[in-house]
Each structure stands twice: as C-alpha cells, then as structure tokens.
Structure 1
Amino acid sequence: MFVLAELKDNVRIAPDQFNLKLVDAVRDEIDRKLANKVLLNVGLCIALKEIVSLKDSIILPGDGASHTEVLFRYVVFRPMVGTVMTGKIRTCSREGVHVTLGFFDDILIPHAALQHPSRFDEAEQAWVWEYPLEDGNKHDLFMDVGEPIKFRVSREIFEETSPIGPPKAEGQASQNANTSAAAAAAATVAASQEVKAPYKIIGAINESGLGVLSWWDQQAKDDEQEGEEDNTEYDNDDDGEGACEE
C-alpha cells in the first residue's frame, strides 16, 4: 500500500532560511512542495523518508536563493492492483460506491463491480445487495454511508490536471442584470465543470468475503449459533441413549 519512491529535484532555499542547516532547510522545502500532492504515475506523497545525496549548492545571477540538486526517498501511497483494503463508505450514487480511507477519498467501486444482484435505492441513496435466500426469496443488505467496507483494488487511474480558471461567459450580460442572479449563474456554471482527480483508485467487491464488514460478521455469528444448536442436539441425543441403556 505504501512504497518508497526515489526522486530527484532541484531545491531552492530562500535567503531567510540560510540560518538553518542545509539538510534541515532542504527537508522542510521538499515536504512543503510534495506532502499531500499527487505525482503523475508515482502516487500520493505522504512524507520524506531520507535524503540520499546533496550536490553542491549554487546561486544563480539575479537570484539570492541557493539551488541544490537533491536525491531523496519519499513515502508514497500507491496500492498494488489486487491489494485488499478496508475503508469507509463516503457516498453512494448511480455511478457506484465512493469510499474513503480518511487521508484519500478518490476511490470508486463501480456498480458493475458490486455484489450481484445489486440495485440503487433512490429513497435511501444507497446501493442494496439482494442476497438470495435458500427459499428463493431475497434479503436486502444495504451499503450505508459510514459503514466499513473491504474491497480489492482492480485498477488505478492517473490524469494530468491543470488549474481551472474562472468560467467563460457565454454571452455579454445585460447592464441591468441583477447582481445576485449573475452570481448564482456563475456558481452554477462553475459547479457544472468537471473536476478531475489526479489519482483515482477503482475497486471491486464482487467476490466472497468482500463488501460491508457487518454482512460477514453477522453471517459468522449465525454460523456459530447454528453450530452451538447442533452440538446441543447431539448432547441431548447422547443423554437419551444413556438413559435407555440404564
């Protein structure tokens, strides 16, 4: 789930940081630049592990800061495909179940990768697994927000992103337009713009043992109770046989 990535960067240290040791100033600058950032095809940066090497610092003409080429190792979140993880359901939509790990929210379990058969309940805004019973009926198992869920990583998606500017006006607004109406229209246009996540994980729960943890906990309790009942009946039969022999 967490890996060490070896990276190289040219770190700029401002003059007001010259009072610090070079290693400490470089550490602070690397963490400031990378912590909680996504690097394309690398993953989500978590924390600096160690500095491998520092080259000589140079000062460029017209710039009072120092520039140092640094080779370092950084702890990165990037689970391998096939890894089983446990998170919590953040929201549900027709697209599927959105899961959070607390520090990472861009996890989607698409509807095609849910337990089969499943349906989306509009009233509850939750996906429901129609669990088949032995008598042919079905028992609804809800995927409620906040429930712990176990899933398998099936795919990862990296996308290049760039800052999104203000929405472009489709036409010139009337001079007599109401200010609040214009602001509401701008907010609507901005909300309609698709915001791409730089790193997204696609998961799946369509196999035994995966899904909402409470499903399997309840099944284990039911199996344990059935086993205790079977043992009780077996003990009663033994007592009866002993009484007959006497």
Structure 2
Amino acid sequence: MFVLAKLQDVVRIPPWLFDKSLNEAIAEELNRKLANRVLYSVGLCIALHDVLSLEESFILPGDGASHTKTVFRYTVFRPYVDEVLTGRIKSCSNDGVQVSLGFFDDIVIPPTSLQQPARFDEAEQVWVWEYDNGKHSLFMDPGEEVRFRVAAETFTDTTPAGPELTTADPAAPAADPAQTQQRKTPYVITATINEPGLGLLSWWSNLG
C-alpha cells in the first residue's frame, strides 16, 4: 500500500528558516510542499522518509532565500493492482460505491464489480447484494467496513493549462477555468468486490 519514491527537487529555504540546520529546514519545506499532494504517476505523498543527497546551496539575485538541489525519498500511497485492502463505504450512487481509507477517498467500485446480482435501492440510496438468488438482501450501508481488491489506477494531469482557443459564439459566457480544474481528480483507484471473501466484513462473518 505504501512505497518509497525517489525524487529530486530544488528546495527553496526562506531566510526565517536559516536558524535551523539545513537538513531540518529542507525536511520542513519538502513536507509543506508535498504532504497530501498527488504526484502524477507517483501517488499520494504522505511524509518525507529521508534525504539522500544535498548539493551546494546558492542564492539568486533579488531573492534572499537559499536554493538547494536535493535528492530524497518520500513515503507514497500507491497500492499495487490486485492488492486487497479494507476501507469504509463513504457513499453509494447509481455509478457505484465510493470507499474511503480515512486519508484517501477516491476509491470507486463500479456496479459491474459488485457482488452479483446487485441492485441499487433508490429509496435507501445504497447498493444491495441479492444473495442466494434473491433470498437475502444484503445492504451496503455507508460506514460499513468493506474488503476490496485494487483493479486499476488512473492518474489525471491536473496541471493548470493556458487559455484554450475556441471558435464558439463570442457572446456565450466563457467557462470558468477554476471550476473546470476542480472537476478533475488527480488519482482514482478502481476496485472490485466481485469475488468470494470480498465485500462487507459483516457479510462473511454472518454467512459463516
């Protein structure tokens, strides 16, 4: 679930951190910059593990901060495909089930990856497993613990882009770039529970 990613960056240390040791100041700045941030094709950054090397620091003209090229290792959340994890159901919709690990919420179980046969209960807004040919309706209520297998991962580049050229009606209102950016999710895990032993933990304790 967690891996060490070897990264490189030029770390800017502002003057008010000069009273700290270089390693301590760099660690503070790297965690401030990266913690809880998704790096494209790397994963969700959790915390700095260690600093591997530092090059000579320099100060740019007109900037009182120091700049140091740094090679370091960062603890990253990025489960491998087929890894089995346990989380809690955050919500259900016609599009599937959203699962949370507490620190990461972008885990989606599509309808086709649920225990089958399954149906969406519009009144309760939850998915239901029709166990034993419909003799038992097992509800997937929010807050319940669920065991799932990672089926795929999707990274989306959310780097802000420049204005797009368009031939649309100039009188039409322009799209808000900020709103367009907010709709993007940088890292999504697609999961499945359509296997024996997967799904709500309570199912298997009760069925056993």
TM-score, L = length of structure 1: 0.76
1:16 deviates by 1.5
| C-alpha distance 143-191 of structure 1, shift in aligned 2 (>3 A) | farther
Q: 1:84 corresponds to which residue?
A: 84
Q: 1:159 corresponds to which residue?
A: 156
- Equivalent residues in 2 for 1:179-218, closer than 5 Å: 195-218=183-206
Give the residue type in structure 1 aligned to 2:78. R
Q: Write the distance in 1 (CA, Å) between the matches of 2:159 and 2:71.
A: 26
Give the residue type in structure 1 aligned to 2:12. R
4+ residue segments displaced more than 2 Å: 190-194
| C-alpha distance 44-122 of structure 1, shift in aligned 2 (>3 A) | same
Note the residue ranges of structure 1 that are not aligned, 5 or more in a row: 172-189, 221-246
**Alignment deviations for residues 159-199 of structure 1 (CA, whole Å, 9 cap, x no partner):** 011459xxxx945xxxxxxxxxxxxxxxxxx9898712100
Counting matched residue pairs gives 200
1:143 deviates by 0.4
Q: Considering fraction of residues, name the structure with more strand.
A: 2
TM-score, L = length of structure 2: 0.89
Note the residue ranges of structure 2 that are not aligned, 5 or more in a row: 162-170
CA RMSD of aligned residues (A): 2.4
Q: Write the distance in 2 (CA, Å) between the matches of 1:44 and 1:7.
A: 13
| C-alpha distance 192-59 of structure 1, shift in aligned 2 (>3 A) | closer
Q: Relative to structure 2, which stretch is displaced further, 108-117 or 56-65?
A: 56-65
Q: 1:184 corresponds to which residue?
A: none
**Alignment deviations for residues 1-26 of structure 1 (CA, whole Å, 9 cap, x no partner):** 00000000000011111111111110
Q: Considering fraction of residues, name the structure with more helix.
A: 1
Q: 1:105 corresponds to which residue?
A: 105
Q: 1:3 corresponds to which residue?
A: 3
Instruction: Say which SS state the counterpart of residue 28 (structure 1) adopts.
Output: helix
Q: 1:24 corresponds to which residue?
A: 24
Give the residue type in structure 2 aligned to 1:206. N
